[in-house]
Amino acid sequence: MKQTNNQWIKDALLYGAIFIILLFTVSFLPVVGIFLLVVLPVPLSIFTYKHGYKKGLVLGGLILVSTLIFAFNFFFLSLPLTLLAILSGGAVGESVRRGRHPYETLVHGTAFYMIGFMILMAALEFVMGIHLATEYRLLIQDSLLQSQQMMETVGVTLSESELAAVKEQMLVVLDVIPALMLITSAVMSLILQWLTFKLLNRLEKRKLFFPAIRRFNLPKSIIWLFLVVLLLSLISYPEGSMFANILMNVSLLIGLLFSMQGLSFIFYYLHKKRQPKTLAIVLTVIAIIILPVGLYVTRILGIIDIGFMMRKRLK
């Protein structure tokens, strides 16, 4: 027992030190730190996997105290980043420890990433006084002004209506922030989970892996949700209303899920036809490169796959 207690303390010191080094790098080297944000929760996920979420919370508390004492760079930025890493890393590590399905682990990580992002945005908004929506509008205004000046230098003049149309399209991003946050959380959770699997396979001799892409299959009930959202979207709502924004975000997320279903069907079809996996990868890359056309094609393919049960019809 004493040896076990000593081991988790040693691991806490080791993984805590690794986390502090990563946090230091993220805080003082912003260019490099952007890429290390995904790696930041990894020490906590590994430690939580090895010793459970209770000891993981203890380590997280010690790291928070260290952040309070040393206040790396800006305290109000370091603290939310630390909370983000503790929540996401602990959720993924504990889920893997309990033997959850990789997709279930992905959902857990995504949910806690979302919570962490909301804490980070609240810290920026209410503590540091940085209003992201206002900053984004100012950025658009400056970009349009510079673009207009550059166009005038080559003899092209943009009318006020054209500038207003471009500005309106760029402001759509503000309406789909919830969906973008969820997508970002899912991508970061996926990368975190993949890194955790790789390290645990090496350190703990585990055999953790994601299911093959061809096995990804949405429930048929999502078709009905899609039809409901589609019918509600045909109704005209006041511009900027909350319900219209909710429909826009839900529609974006459902469309992305159908696109994933379409890509999964491509992998499934080529696997059934005994085609090389590289062909499916090439088609996926092409679909991503020719956005948004590629997403629309895969979305339609995904809807057909679910609605007509194409996988069962393949011979």
How far is it between the farthest Cα atoms of the chain? 80
Query: Rounded distance, CA 139 to CA 56, Å?
Result: 40
Q: What percent of the chain has pLDDT over 90?
A: 28
pLDDT digits (tens, 9 = 90+) for 9-19: 899 999 999 99
The predicted pLDDT at position 143 comes to 79
What residue has token string 């996997």? 49
**Per-residue model confidence (pLDDT) at position 308:** 86
Residue 39, both tokens: 């790696």
Mean pLDDT per 10-residue section of the chain, whose length is 315 residues:
67 90 79 78 94 91 81 62 89 93 92 88 75 79 78 71 75 83 92 94 89 88 89 79 84 91 91 86 82 82 89 77
Contact 105, 96 (CB under 8 A): yes
Using DSSP's 3-state secondary structure scheme, residue 100 falls into coil
Angle at 179 between CA 301 and CA 284, to 5 degrees: 35
pLDDT digits (tens, 9 = 90+) for 181-230: 999 999 999 999 999 999 999 988 888 988 888 889 888 889 999 999 88
- Sorted by where each begins, the domain ranges of the chain are 2-130+178-203, 131-175, 213-315
The owner of tokens 């994601």 is 210
| Residue 41, CA atoms < 13 Å, CB-side half-sphere | 34
Residue type, 218: L
User: pTM score, two decimals?
Assistant: 0.85
Token match 């986390």: residue?
19
Given this model, what pLDDT does residue 49 score?
Answer: 95
Nearest alpha-carbon partner for 216 in 89, 295, 306 = 306
In angstroms, the CA 174 to CA 152 distance is 29
Residue 64 CB coordination number (10 Å) = 15
- What per-residue confidence (pLDDT) applies to 2? 44
